[in-house]
Structure 1
Amino acid sequence: MSQCSPFDDLHIRDALDMTLIFAAVDQNISWLFSGPAVLALKKQQQPNMLGIKDFFKNIKTLEIYDVENIYVCEKSLLDYGLNKNDLLLDVQALNFDQQKALIKTQQHVVNL
């Protein structure tokens, strides 16, 4: 689960690296983006203009590694004026109760 802004520290980058590592060894991964973390999925970003390395394009590699369980907080999308068409990947938007249910079904939860 990611809740931090993609422009602060390296939380999203670390989560992406961890997800790709586990996916490479055939683990079934679910990734939930909530709060400002949903901004990491926004299309046509230019982080280089902020002096940040462009790792956002690497998020598209999740499809290559068969990471298909990508979720976003429905409220967070609304808070940032986004909809699913604004995002790099095909995601499933979840309300709060659906997020709680998803988290309960996971064997392990990592919050970055």
Structure 2
Amino acid sequence: MINVLVLSQHSPFDDLYIRDALDMTLIFAAVEQNISWLFTGPAVLALKKQQQPEHIGLKNYFKSIKTLEIYDVENIYVCEKSLLEYGLDKNNLLVPVKALNYQQQHHLISQQQQIVTL
């Protein structure tokens, strides 16, 4: 089993970056890799509760993020600074996360054998 990190940095409303990252995370989980997902910058907005993307013409795939628990994906991380920048806290999010400062993010990244940036 290898350590794989999916790193999301784009807004959930720009193309399908978050959707692709979700698919990638589920694929790695299905083949029993040690998968982690890190949200930084505007990507943290994908985790916000009670979104209604259909109002801007997007399919609501955000609720699919909750399925990560079924696949035993428990290593979901967010950039602490990004949460503050977007006025969020861990209680506003769809799934339980671990907030990391810059040094903790760097340590997490250094522990990975594969990093997929989307």
Shorter-chain TM-score category?
A: over 0.9
Alignment of 1:7-26 (within 5 A): 7-26=13-32
Q: What is the rounded CA distance, in whole Å, between the counterparts of 2:102 and 2:49 in structure 1?
A: 24
Q: Distance in 2 between matches of 1:83 and 1:14?
A: 24
CA separation in 2, counterparts of 1:3 and 1:97? Answer: 17
Cα drift, residue 30 of structure 1: 0.6
Q: Does 1:81 align with 2:87?
A: yes
Task: Give ranges in structure 2 of 5+ residues lacking alignment.
Answer: 1-6
**TM norm structure 2:** 0.94
Question: For residue 42 of structure 1, what is the aligned residue in structure 2?
Answer: 48
Residue 21 of structure 1 and its aligned partner are, at CA, apart by: 0.9
Give the partner amino acid of 1:6.
P
Q: Which runs of 4+ in 1 moved over 4 A?
A: none
TM-score of the pair, normalised by structure 1: 0.99
Query: Matches of residues 43-58 of structure 1 in structure 2 within 5 Å?
Result: 43-58=49-64
Q: Does 2:70 correspond to 1:64?
A: yes
Q: Please tell me whether residue 5 in structure 1 is matched to residue 11 in structure 2.
A: yes
Pairwise CA RMSD: 0.4
Distance 2:23 2:107 in 1: 25
Say how many residue pairs are matched: 112
The structure that is strand-richer by fraction is 2
